[in-house]
Chain A
Amino acid sequence: MKGTEKVRWHLIARFAILTALLGGLLALPALVEAQIAVRGNVVHPVSGPALEDGIVLVGADGRIEAVGPAGEVQVPDGVETLQAAVVTPGLVDARSVVGLAGYLNQPHDQDQLETSSAIQPELRAIDAYNAREELVGWVRSLGTTTLHTGHGPGSLMSGQTMVVKTRGDNVGEAVVDSVTMVAMTLGPEVSQMIPGGPGTRAKGIAQLRQQFVRAQEYQRRAGENGGGDRDLQMEILGRMLDGEVKALITANRISEIMAALRLAEEFGLDLVLDGAAEAYLVTDEIRAAGVPVIVHPTLARHSGTLEHGTYDAAKRLHDAGLEVTLQSGFEGYVPKTRVLLFEAGMAAAYGLSFENTLEAITLQAARIIGQDHRVGSLEPGKDGDLVLYDGDPFEYLTRVCTVIIEGEVVSDECR
């Protein structure tokens, strides 16, 4: 054997060993650590086309290891496989107050709105979230695994929002992102809700502009001389000016929507429109601004600033080329929350395609709340959040039978 050949064989052998080792590294976790498998007659990864007889394999780290047709994904021995008619990613609720607005609707469990003054962006959602609140379990049992929740509408700036998973005994176990957006409202309800607040909408906008101008000054001073005394409110407003924390503005009427776009443009805010009952009348302006819309729950009562709302809002806005998602939203009275899955049913029933509806309440919502790297679709490496149904997810008669968060079954009662 010539030396060169020897070297070659040596290289080949080393390559083979390396390949085997690499293969072992890839295969081994599946053999030893795969935690749970879900097999569905139809699996909707959302990031790609639906799979007939698909399997999703979730690892012990709670992340998805594999998604594919049953013939291509090997479920290791000893790993439990759950069966379902339909499987989707865990649902992502882009706007909720669940965990802050309790279901008793008594003063002691209503933490979504502080009325002592109209501008309080320094209020943190993590300081008010009750992970054991009844409605957290309710929405979880109906498929919601990720909640963008926090301070509610009703004040010019009611406080911060955050992202949680619908599990855990306390906020620390639930939280995914502790500061996501600041909740703002531009409608006439501010004057009704906040005793010392602005008496008119125009006055409210002026107060907001003044506060953002102060924040710009605060940033400038901080940059020049290292800053003076810390001001929590100015700090969070500064993060909004930097685009690091989004402005979630509840605006239903045309005038409110236009004012929100104006504010965002003037101060460079990263705007997300909430509610947007009359958005179908100003879609060109919203599209030009590149602003996503979390459309109001269509099952919410169409009174007050929702009086001109429509059941086909999601379809109309989607057809107009806007980024649209849905929400469970805020309710002042029975019920204290809508249900994302039922809102999706309304959107689908009133013209949004099945695929677009499902994407709206998963991947699209995840994008808007900045979590599409973790949730919203069934892809290897993403969180193992899944919902198992016994039929078309949006049908009244279909039940959610299992909910899985990061590989752990968190609900297994058909509801």
Chain B
Amino acid sequence: MTRTTLRSCSVGERYSLGERPSALAVGAFLVAALLLAGPLSAQEQPLAFQGATLVPIAGPPIQDGVLVVHRGEITAVGAAGEVDMPGNAEVRDVSGMYIMPGMVDTHSHIGGGDGGDRSAPIHGEVRILDALDARHDRIRTARAGGVTTANIMPGSGHLMSGQTAYVKLRDGRTIYDLLLCDDVRTEICGGMKMANGTNPIGSPPFPETRARSAALVRAKFVEAQQYAGRVQDANGDPEQVPARNLELETLMEILDGRRIVHFHTHRHDDILTAIRLSEEFGFRVVLHHVSEAAMVAPEIAAAGVPSSIIVIDAPGGKLEAVNLTFDAGAALEEHGADVAFHTDDPITDSRVFLRSAGLSVRAGMSREAALEALTLAGARMMDLEDRVGSLEVGKDADFVLLTGDPLSVYTRVQETWIDGIRVFDLDDPEDRAYAVGGYGVTPDQGGHHHGMGGH
């Protein structure tokens, strides 16, 4: 799977030249690329890390563990002596370090992308992947924080600001090197960003109230249901098939449960509105930010809806965040709801993503749930749990070497690996600059803003 994905970067280069290769050409290219796979692949020789404390997430921590990766995949995980070490493996002693899965950021704005414009509050057809810069320096700083997979989203200033992109933070030339799908025209390459509360409220054509916000969304999904009905009734008959509508086609993917809605929502009543909409139309939703989660944790848990939360230094800064403290994770965990963390980078910096877990455990979350919230829980919220988020045989070789306990403030990300390729090394001066900062390392490029308030 990993190698197939690597193939797609070459396809991407074709696209970037402006050609639109036919399916046949793409297929031929894939075959050719497979034959030439060597140089693009991760290590031909198995690579083993021994001596570290492994945090597999899929199971309890393993002292003096062994992790073996080969050709971009994890081929062995276990305690020393219990793992069959391949005879030809290159062995690295990483005693004293911790190894955890590459972190999964369920909500990020790195890469300089954008989404819908101000012409309307709903832009289901807009894709952020059409606007992402694979070489953006914020992608490099995110790697320095140990983030390997991200859900890159358009902003929250719309009811529906566009399609998100699920990416790996590979060292890429174009967006195709980063995407987790192979064909952007036939596959689901991300989720859908929606928002309620104050951010999408404005002057026409934007709604002025919360109720109208919900009504506009309901009308759009009703339209999509009717469109889906006509498509189904046509049963493939070209005479009967309705005219293609990119937005409604995308909403059909949501109604089918193939595309997940990532719903920005802060206040307890807005959280319940988001759940109500998801239940009315049967769409899969991940609640994002969920600042007042502690107030409605039982309802969130009862709905079986996962939450992706943010951890912020102090409450407030906007009206909807006045109850945002460190206890959302603990409250959701207590009630049995699935919890992941996100950076909302640049709202919080990807380089300190581990802080989210530390501060949440400080406020009562369990260590296990907090570490899962940095990794596997986020992967589940993007339908990527079969590939990333834990150290398990067969999964992508995405992992992070840490200098110590993931929940200690003194711990640094030493190395970040994606698909068995090292993409960050704290000992490399250039990489270290991205981790620590410095003159000209990450010049301000403007970029994403959440409708900044105040002075």
Contact = CB atoms under 8 A, between A and B. Distances in A.
A309 to B, nearest CB: 6
A334 B312 contact: yes
B185 interface: no
B441 A334 contact: no
B436 A395 contact: no
Interface in A382-401: 394-399
Contacts of B355: 396
A334 B436 contact: no
Contacts of B347: 301, 334
Interface stretch (A87-95, A103-111, A196-204, A232-240): A103-111
Interface string B442-454: 1110010010111
A103 B346 contact: no
Interface string B189-204: 0000000000000000
Contact of B437 (A311, A331, A335, A395): A311
Q: Which of B312, B358, B410, B455 has the most CB of A within 10 A?
A: B455
B408 A395 contact: yes
Contact of A333 (B349, B436, B450): B450
A143 interface: no
B316 A335 contact: yes
B409 A349 contact: yes
B215 to A, nearest CB: 27
Interface string B358-396: 110111000000000000000000000000000000000
Interface stretch (B92-100, B165-173, B318-326, B333-341): B318-326
Contacts of B440: 308
Interface stretch (A22-30, A162-170, A336-344): A336-344
Contacts of B346: 301, 303
Given A113-B455, A308-B437, A332-B455, A103 B349 contact: no
21 contacts: A105-B318, A105-B454, A138-B314, A154-B455, A278-B439, A302-B437, A307-B444, A311-B437, A332-B455, A333-B317, A333-B453, A333-B454, A334-B317, A335-B313, A335-B314, A335-B316, A336-B317, A336-B454, A337-B313, A339-B314, A349-B410
B407 interface: yes
A394 B358 CA distance: 12
The 10 closest A-B pairs by CB, nearest first: A396-B358, A103-B316, A334-B317, A310-B437, A335-B314, A307-B444, A105-B454, A345-B409, A335-B313, A336-B317
B455 A336 contact: no
Contact of A103 (B317, B351, B441, B442): B317
A348 B410 contact: yes
A396 B441 CA distance: 27
Given A307-B444, A395-B408, A336 B316 contact: yes
Contacts of B450: 333
Contacts of A350: 436
Contacts of A336: 314, 316-317, 454
Interface in A257-302: 278, 281, 299, 301-302
A219 interface: no
Contacts of B321: 334
Contacts of B454: 101, 105, 110, 332-333, 336
Given A334-B317, A337-B313, A302 B349 contact: yes
Contacts of A154: 455
A396 B314 contact: no
Contacts of B81: none
Nearest to A193: B455
Contact of B322 (A104, A278, A342, A348): A104
A368 B160 CA distance: 50
Given A112-B455, A308-B439, A311-B351, A335 B317 contact: yes
Nearest to B310: A334
A310 B440 CA distance: 11
Nearest to A103: B316
B319 A106 contact: yes
B278 to A, nearest CB: 25
Nearest to B433: A310
A398 B361 CA distance: 10
A339 B316 contact: no
A135 interface: yes
Interface string B274-316: 0000000000000000000000000000000000000011111
Contact of A397 (B312, B317, B362, B435): B362
A397 B358 contact: yes
Contacts of A152: 455
A335 B455 contact: no
Interface of B: 312-319, 321-322, 324, 346-347, 349, 351-352, 355, 358-359, 361-363, 407-410, 412, 435-444, 447, 450, 452-455
A1 to B, nearest CB: 73
Interface in A115-147: 115, 134-135, 138-139
B408 A396 contact: yes
A304 interface: yes
Contacts of A333: 317-318, 450, 452-454
B380 to A, nearest CB: 24
Contacts of B443: 307-308
A312 interface: yes
B436 to A, nearest CB: 5
Contacts of B324: 334
Contact of B438 (A105, A112, A310, A339): A310
Contacts of B444: 303-304, 307
B455 A331 contact: no
Given A105-B453, A350-B436, 19 more contacts: A110-B455, A113-B455, A135-B315, A299-B352, A304-B444, A308-B443, A311-B437, A332-B454, A334-B317, A336-B454, A339-B314, A345-B409, A346-B409, A349-B412, A395-B409, A396-B362, A397-B361, A397-B362, A415-B363
Contacts of B349: 299, 301-302
Nearest to B410: A349
Contacts of A310: 436-438
A345 B437 CA distance: 17
Contacts of A302: 349, 437, 442
A303 B444 CA distance: 5
B439 A281 contact: yes
A415 B315 CA distance: 14
Interface string A45-65: 000000000000000000000
Nearest to A154: B455
Nearest to B324: A334
Contacts of B313: 299, 335, 337-339, 342
Contacts of B455: 110, 112-113, 115, 152, 154, 193, 332
Interface string A350-379: 100000000000000000000000000000
A396 B407 contact: yes
Nearest to B346: A301
Nearest to A189: B455
Contacts of B407: 396-397
B445 to A, nearest CB: 9
A102 B358 CA distance: 27
B319 to A, nearest CB: 6
B50 to A, nearest CB: 27
A350 B455 CA distance: 30
Interface string A187-222: 000000100000000000000000000000000000
